[in-house]
Structure formats: C-alpha cells, structure tokens
Chains A and B, each alone.
Chain A
C-alpha cells in the first residue's frame, strides 16, 4: 500500500473559470466609448424622469416679451420665437426622444420577432405571406413609409411610435426568420420532435432562446435610427405635434431664425447627435460582447 500523500498530483492548469456574465461585462466595458455611451444614456433617462424638477422654467409657457433672447443667466440657452426657454424644452424633449425610441423598438421588436419566428418555424404558406408583406414594406424607403403612416394616423406621440414601428418591422422579421430557420436544423430540435414535444412548445422553449441574440444587437442599433427618423418626421412637421416638445420640431422652428439665432436649431440637433451616438456605442459594445468574432472590426 503506498502512502496516498506521496502520490504526485499531476500539474493540471485549469483555465480560470469565468462566468458568462463576467466575460460579457469585461468585453462590454473594454472600450471607453461604450462606457461613455452608457453613462450618457443613464443621465438621459434620469433627465427625462426628473424633467419637471430639473427644467429651469415651464417649456410650454409662451412669453412674447421674452421672445428670441440670447443666452443669459435667466435662459441659459436663450428662448425661441414664442419666448419659451430652450434649455427647458431640450430637457422635456429628452422624454419624447426616449419614449419614441424605446416605445418603437419595443413594439416592432416584439411583433417582428414573433412574426419572424412563425415564418421561420412554420415555413410554407405562413412564411410566404409574412415575408412577401415584409418585402413590400421594404420596397419603401423607411422615412417615406413612416411619413405616409404618420400622416394616416395623424401624428402625435403614440401614432409616431406606431408608424415607426411598422416602418422598422421588416428588419426584425427577416433577421429572426433567418435565425430560426438555421436553429431549426439543429439536432436538439430534432430530438425534441423525437420525444414527441408539441410544435409550439419546441418553438417557444428551444428555438426562441437560441435564435434571439442577433435581434438584441439590432434593437440597440435601431434605437438610434428610430430617434433620427422621429427627428426627421418632426422636422417635416408630420411627427410630434405642438404642444408636444420634440427635438426635431424644435430644430425646424429654429430654422426660421437660423441667421440671427443659430443656437435654436443647433442645440436640439446636437442633443440628437449625442443620444444617437450613445445608443450606437452601447449597441457596438453589446455586439462585441455577444459575438467575439466581430471584435475589433470597428
């Protein structure tokens, strides 16, 4: 009997175990710009929530005696042609931007992913009908379709969300459909069938969790695009209607006094840029963290 304690333990170098969440976090926060984007978004959400507390004055109150003021201590960014405080309107505009951004993406991603899942999983006629309608929606430039739909629905916050959600739907459907079709071919799905699982159960419990990750990245990218599109619609005058405050319509209003008061159109435009940039950064970080293959490709 040999003494157990004398047996030499083989030197095995076990790779440090690292949880999925930890790996995700490490890659996500690797780039400073991603952290910056996240910080900007957190601040933006806080500003939107606490707008009534932060805003120095009432964003809706017209004061003709104060119209088109230059920046001063009373009005840090000046006032517009109706004497409304630009800074306060910017702060309230953050609410609109976030509401439209998150609302649209929520509606279009949920509906789009369900339709894509159905089209990809069921195939056949269902696939044909869903995908042809999506092809037709994609035949329009996104902004033209959104313009038409927003006009039909009559503008306003909720209707802009619906219009943009329909206009951005095809992207989710196509992506989800393609993912589902590839996941469906895996053997574990066949195994589910073999043990007699119901189609619906297989689709929801096994196909969906394995197919939705790419959509997550699309969602963050779309957030920025949707906010840009809303700004465009409001700029033309078909998006958010007064008295609602939107950065796009602020920019359009300011356009009339561009020569004398450039700040009126530049400040909301810059706000849009910062927010869209932040969303894009977070989207990039998410993509890198979820798909290591794409790392380092801008």
Chain B
C-alpha cells in the first residue's frame, strides 16, 4: 500500500512536470508581447521609452533565452517562488492566496452538493424504478447534461437577480468576512457549477444501483426479511458507491472548467476569472502558476480517489 502511494506520488510529480512544460511553452506561443501589453494598459504608458520596456523585460526575466526562462521557472517552483505577475505587480504566490480560496470554497460546496444530491437522486430513481420519481430524476439529469453552464446562469440571474431582486448578480464575499452575504453570493454560482456533475453522478448512481440490485446478496437480504431501509443503506448503497467515487475526479475537472465561465459571468474574483484575464493580458507567470496549481489538485484528488477504492471495496488490493 505504502509503496503504491509512493509510486503514484512520483508518477504525479512526473505528470506535473509535463503539465508545466506544456503550459510554459504554450503561453510563450501566445500572440503578442506581454510587456507591450502591460504598458498599453497603463494610462501613463504613452511616455514609456524603449529603455523602460527593456528594464521591465529584465525585471521579469523575459530578456533571457526561453530555455533559461524555463529553467528559472522550474527552479522557482522547487523553492516555492512562482514568479512575479506583470499585470498585478505582485508575487504569483500571494495572488493565488487571494484568488484560490474563492474558487476552492465555491468548488468544494459544489462538489459536496452535487455528490450528495446526485447519489440520493440516483438511488431513489433506481429503487423506485419506472415510477414518477424515476422519470423526474431522469429528466433532471438530462437537463443537467445538456444545459450550457451560462444558460442556467441566465435563468437564475434573470429570475432571482433581476426580476425578484433576491440575490446579488455580481461579486463575491468570503464566508469568514461576512457569512450571510457570502451565502447569498454563493447560491447562483454554486448551482451553475454543480448542475453538470450532479447530473453525471445521478446517472451513474442509478445504473450502478440497478446493477447491485440484481446481486445475490441483495436478494438474500430481502429474503431474510430485512426492512427496506436496511437493505438499501447497508447492502445496496455502499456497494454501488465505487463507480460514483471515480466520478469525483471527473467532477473536480468539470467544476474547475466551469469556474472559468461562471466566475467570468458573476464577476467573481477567483481562479477561473484570473486565468481568463491573464490569458487576455498575456500574464505568463500567472497562467503558468494557476494551471499548475489546478493540475496538482486534480492529480491529488484522483490519487485520493484511487486509494479510497480499497476502503469502499475491500476486494480491491494494491501491489
């Protein structure tokens, strides 16, 4: 088990290295000059001379050959220095500590809601197969699979933001700053982020429960006269969770991807919006640092998922 984990972690580090190679070289292929871009956005930019530009390039290490830049960046990562943003004039690390918590909180709430609700809905649909419950869950999961994230956003913003005026349509507050406001700010973005993973989970859970339902041990449980609640919670639920656990890794990906759209839409100062703006601003190091952190988290979640299989299904062993 320990050797399995060590191997997987080393594997993950290798994959992260490849991720950093891909990101590093693709941002350098972005059309445009980051320094000129920064200068053009400053109001005082018109007075910039060629020497100023050169100084900025040297300050951000952009004057060196690309391979040297890459080496410096990797060296920085190992020592915990992610570089300095051109646009924000601060360390990427401190930028991330500002932006990351927002995305993490919204993402975490979305993962919890979509997983718990998805498992519940899928379970109900399966054990009440071919009744109205099943139909409703099926319709919900189809809608969740086909709705563009921004479409749900439009509906929510239109109804609850503009017509009823119950919820704020832009901005965000962290829970430890103002809890009540934070809840209000979170409702609509979380709904948008959670809808697709919810549908995927419910669908997977339904078919997984239907499969477990046919197992001999479920029939045995019924025939020895156990009450439905016990059969469902003790015998069906736990055994049908394994495929759903796999989805956690996929859900995290969907939610991080969705945050790009949702945060832009609701003007939330999180990682998704930061990434989009940094792409537009050609803020190389922010794109690099941001994607690397996201990739690291996705790899970590998948590792935890793989390890947790053994707990849910003791038949699974690791060499």
CB of A101, distance to nearest CB on chain B (Å): 13
How near does chain A come to B20, taking the closest CB pair, in angstroms?
9
Complex CA gap A95/B18 in Å reads 36
Size of the chain A interface, CB-CB below 8 angstroms:
43
B276 contact from A140, A147, A251, Cβ within 8 A: A147
In the bound complex, do residue A151 and residue B151 qualify as a contact, i.e. CB atoms below 8 Å apart?
no
Q: Which residues of B contact A269 (CB under 8 A)?
A: 147-148, 150-151, 154
Overall SS of chain B's interface:
helix
* Residues of chain A lying within 8 A (CB to CB) of residue B157: 258
**Minimal Cβ-Cβ distance residue in B for A296:** B210
Q: Is the interface of A mostly helix, strand, loop or mixed?
A: helix
CA A93 – CA B280 in complex, angstroms? 25
When the two chains form their complex, are residues A298 and B148 in contact, meaning their CB atoms are under 8 A apart?
A: no
**B26: contacting residue among A152, A265, A270, A280, CB under 8 A:** A152
- Mark interface residues in A108-135 (1 if CB within 8 Å of B CB, else 0): 0000000000000000000000001101
Nearest residue (CB) in A for B298 is A139
Tell me, yes or no, whether B258 is within 8 Å of chain A by CB: yes
B312 at the interface (CB under 8 A from A): no
Residue B40 at the A interface, CB < 8 A?
A: no
Contact call A140/B275, Cβ cutoff below 8 A: no
Shortest CB-to-CB span from A63 to chain B, Å, is 25
> Residue on A with the closest CB to B15?
A135
Asked if B261 lies at the interface with its beta carbon under 8 angstroms from chain A, I say yes
A140-B294, A258-B158, A272-B151 given; 11 more Cβ-contact pairs under 8 Å: A136-B22, A139-B295, A147-B260, A149-B26, A152-B26, A258-B157, A259-B162, A273-B147, A273-B148, A276-B145, A298-B207
6 cross-chain CB contacts under 8 A: A139-B18, A144-B260, A144-B294, A232-B149, A266-B155, A298-B141
List residues of A whose CB falls within 8 A of some B CB.
132-133, 135-137, 139-144, 147-149, 151-152, 154, 224, 228, 231-232, 235-236, 238, 248, 251-252, 255, 258-259, 262, 265-266, 269-270, 272-273, 276-277, 280, 296-298
